[in-house]
Structure 1
Amino acid sequence: MIRNYLDLEDGRLFYEVSGKGDPILLIHGNFNDHQIWNEQVDTFSAHYKIIRYDLRGYGLSSTPNSSFANVDDLKALIEHLKLHKVTLIGSSLGGGVAIDFALTYPHLVQALILASPSINGKLYPINMTWQGIKNYFNVRLNGHQKAIEAFITNHFWQYFFPSERKEEARKKVLDNVRKTSNFCRFSPNLSAAVKPYAISRLREINIPALIITSDQDHPYNIKTAENLHKSIELSSKVMMQNCGHLPFIEEPHEFNQLVLDFLSNT
């Protein structure tokens, strides 16, 4: 296993490489870091080269202090590792990054696997936007630890966390979210999305895509997955049962098998 940093002009990215074979990049979502994929790495690296990294502003990567683009960071990482055709697996915000990258550099992407993904340019419900703003200002007013606990106990965000019946999965998510390095470290305005926004360009994606959603996720996220499935011609969609926003932690064996089956047929 290789653990290292990629130095950028105005920051640095932490990344980890394990396994051999065709490359798969794992892209985490908001409030998480690369370790959210712990349940996937051993299984996938038995068949593929697995690269997971921390987006800028999360985990062990640097905190942005000027405008940046996740797509540019991902391109720099792929070039640094001398990769060619890659498969991207993205969770939530990471799914949005994967979609933007596939639209910007279609020649570099072989397949997409999108777990409860976002789509840049698709407006969030007003309440979801407001709750996100509250998280950011809670950090500034009360400090990271109090803001994180308020996030965890906020009724609105319960779709993000496994139920208390899934004790082990819930602990893994809570441990990851409780890292202050993963929570509202920078102003969201610094992260530049690709334009024109992906929401108007989804039909340009002509590679195989697997869209994985969950029955207990927020209705907006379920609808987003349906939008993707209708717009990407070569896509298939699976709804995992009794899971929230992070199904790959709640039911890792089922998730991993879905991904391996998809890749073997691609």
Structure 2
Amino acid sequence: MTSGRVPVQDGELFFEDRGAGHALILLHGGMLDHRMWDGQVGPLVRAGYRVIRYDARGHGQSSTPKDDFAAHEDLRDLLAGLDIRRASLVGLSYGARTAIDFALLYPDAVEMMVLASPGVSGMQFSDPAILDLLRQQSEAARAMDAARYVECFLRAWVDGPQRRPDQVDAEVRRRCHEMALDVIENHSSAAGAVHELGALNRLGELAAPLLVLVGDLDSSDIHAVAGRIEAEAQFTASAVVPGTGHALAMEQPAAFNAAALTFLERARLAR
């Protein structure tokens, strides 16, 4: 395994690179970092992939944003810095959102995609439980209450609207708490906005084979977006992972890995 940093505009991205074979880029969820993929790297490498996971700007060991930036352009710079012309993308939540924007702008650079608990730039939230937690999170930010802010994040995007905290794997919750708190402690000085494409109305342009995975206990907003991707993108497969919420790759790593690897292998054979 190698690790290092790749320069991007006004900053740098931390990455880990392991294995050999077809390049597979892992894009983590918002408020998390590359560590969320601990349960995926080994199985993917053993399956014959070169696995690159990295911290998005404003997360983990990557740079704190100083001005406006585009996460999909950071991904482009990462691939260029690692001399990768074509790769498959595996993204969860914010990572899926970035992967979709990137695939719309740079379709020739994307071979296949696995989109888990996907966000899509341009989407709006309507789930009452999520809206209430986002409101509480904003209040916590104004009060500079980091503990409450992180708990609201966990309630919305780890527990989900259908579960209590004590119904979620305690170790998964602890890991997500640690990563989210690191974001607050290390990147609270972030400035600028994230530029996105507004991909919600461009999903029909997605031409790479893609798999959509969603947990059955995730919010209605994520289920709705997943349904739109499945209906509108050109070559899609989908699955619902039972007994899990938004952080499904962490909660159900065996099911996630099996679904992702089966799809990737079948899609490659079909091309």
User: TM-score if structure 1 supplies the norm length?
Assistant: 0.89
Q: How far apart in 1 are the matches of 2:132 and 2:67?
A: 24
Change (3 A) 1:133 1:182: farther
2:192 matches 1:168: no
Q: Which amino acid aligns with 2:177?
A: L
1:109 maps to 110
Q: Is the 8 A contact 1:144 1:180 kept in 2?
A: no
The answer (yes or no) to whether the contact 1:57–1:64 under 8 Å persists in 2 is yes
Q: Contact (CA 8 Å) 1:43, 1:256: kept in 2 or not?
A: yes
Superposition map of 1:30-179 within 5 A: 30-46=30-46, 47-125=48-126, 128=130, 131-132=133-134, 134-152=136-154, 154=155, 158-159=159-160, 164=167, 166-179=169-182
Instruction: Give the secondary-structure state (helix, strand or coil) at the position aligned to 1:20.
Output: coil
Quote how far apart the aligned CAs of 1:84 are.
1.7
**In 2, distance between residues paired with 1:261 and 1:156?**
26
Give the Cα–Cα distance (whole angstroms) in 1 for the partners of residues 109 and 171 of structure 2.
Answer: 37
How much has 1:78 moved relative to structure 2? 0.3
1:64–1:165 distance in 2 versus 1, CA, 3 Å: closer
CA deviation string 1:67-107 (max 9, x = no partner): 10001100000001011220000100110100000000000
Secondary structure of 1:178's partner? Answer: helix
Structure 1 unaligned spans of 5+: none
The equivalences for 1:232-251 within 5 A come to 232-251=233-252
> Is the alpha carbon distance of 1:14 and 1:237 closer, same or farther for their aligned partners in structure 2, counting shifts above 3 Å?
same
Q: State the Cα RMSD in Å.
A: 2.5
CA drift of 1:135 comes to 2.5
Distance 1:150 1:112, change over 3 A: closer
In structure 2, stretches of 5+ residues that fail to align are none
SS at match of 2:88: strand
The C-alpha deviation readout for 1:149-180, integer Å capped at 9, x for no partner, is 4544x579731887535333333333333324
Structure 1 pair 69/87, CA: closer, same or farther in 2 (3 Å)?
same
User: CA 1:242/1:130 → structure 2, altered by over 3 Å: closer, same or farther?
Assistant: closer
Mean alpha-carbon deviation: is it higher for 168-177 or for 88-97? 168-177
Q: 1:7 maps to which residue?
A: 7
Q: CA deviation at 1:188?
A: 8.5
Contact kept? 2:4, 2:16, Cα under 8 Å: yes
Secondary structure in 1 aligned to 2:160?
A: helix
Task: Return the TM-score normalized by structure 2.
Answer: 0.88
Deviation at 1:265, TM superposition (A): 0.5
**C-alpha displacement of 1:61:** 0.8
Alpha-carbon offset, residue 182 of structure 1: 7.8
Q: Distance in 1 between matches of 2:156 and 2:221?
A: 16
Q: Which aligned pairs between 1:214-253 and structure 2 lie closer than 5 A? A: 214-253=215-254
Identity, in percent, stands at: 29
| CA-CA distance at 1:125 after TM superposition | 2.0
User: What is the 5 A alignment of 1:244-263?
Assistant: 244-263=245-264
The partner residue of 1:191 within 184, 191, 194 is: 194
Aligned length: 263
